[in-house]
Amino acid sequence: MLLAIDTCGSTGTLALARRDGERISVLATAELAGKTYAALLVPQLRALLEQQNAGLRDVEAIIVVNGPGSFTGVRVGVSATKGLAELFATPAIAVSRLRVLAQKAGRRAAALDAGRGEFYFGNYADGEEEALLSVDELRISTAGSELAVCEEKASTAFPEALLVSAPAASDALELALPRLLSGDFDDLASLDGNYLRRSDAELFARPATQTSKLQSA
């Protein structure tokens, strides 16, 4: 059995699936309303497992979508994955939400709204390239490539892009399958969010020297 977790977007999702060789069959899914991830992820997961008369010890691997997206959402999903994986000695695989979106749409590139007039961009035409870009920068980067988006704001900015529904945890399963088959798992100690942008706390934090001066004044 496989467990997939995606709490990067405005709506979070969970998926349980069964693997038979190279074939994956989704057994059950659940949605998590925005801003409820921390409180509802574990109860929803428990309910999904109970529906299948299974427990976390039956999970072969955990696939987590580790961003980019909501900082809080990314942290919740990654932290839950690390906690469960360590507790039950379950291997984990982290995948990019941009790459999941591109694969879902059958495109070579994908973009997600990052706010502040910027977009998260992933280009997989030749390897893997991800960055935080302005609208103008993204238009240059996507010249001649196929772009997938899943938000109206991104679709308005790039009308030539293919608009699809937002990727869910179940969509991450197929992307993770090759790594699962080869045993290419992430190191839990170094597993972290794929933020592509520093948090507001980091951006607006006062330098330590300035803080010390203010405190001593």
Domain ranges of the chain: 2-97+166-200, 99-163
Q: What is the mean pLDDT of residues 191-210?
A: 65
Query: What are the φ and ψ backbone dihedral angles of 134, each rounded to 5 degrees?
Result: -75, 170
Contact status, residue 149 vs residue 163, Cβ threshold 8 Å: yes
SS3 state of residue 161? coil
Residue-wise pLDDT tens digits, 5-23? 999 999 999 999 999 999 9
Q: Average the pLDDT over each of 99-103, 128-132, 211-215 and give the range with the smallest value.
A: 211-215
Confidence check: pLDDT of 167 > 60: yes
Distance CA 215, CA 209 (A): 10
pLDDT of 142 reads 85
Residue 83 pLDDT > 50: yes
Segment 170-182, tens digit of pLDDT = 999 999 999 999 9
Query: Which residues, listed in sequence order, are joined to residue 68 by a DSSP beta bridge?
Result: none
Q: Tell me which residue of 63, 167, 70 sits closest to 110, measured CA to CA.
A: 167
Q: Among 3.30.420.40, 2.30.40.10, 2.60.120.1270, 3.40.50.300, what is the CATH number of 2-97+166-200?
A: 3.30.420.40
Same CATH topology for 2-97+166-200 and 99-163: the answer is yes
Structure-block tokens of residue 217 = 């004044």
Please give the CATH topology (third level) of the domain spanning 99-163: Nucleotidyltransferase; domain 5 (3.30.420)
pLDDT in tens, 112-122: 999 999 999 99
Predicted TM-score (pTM) of this structure:
0.90
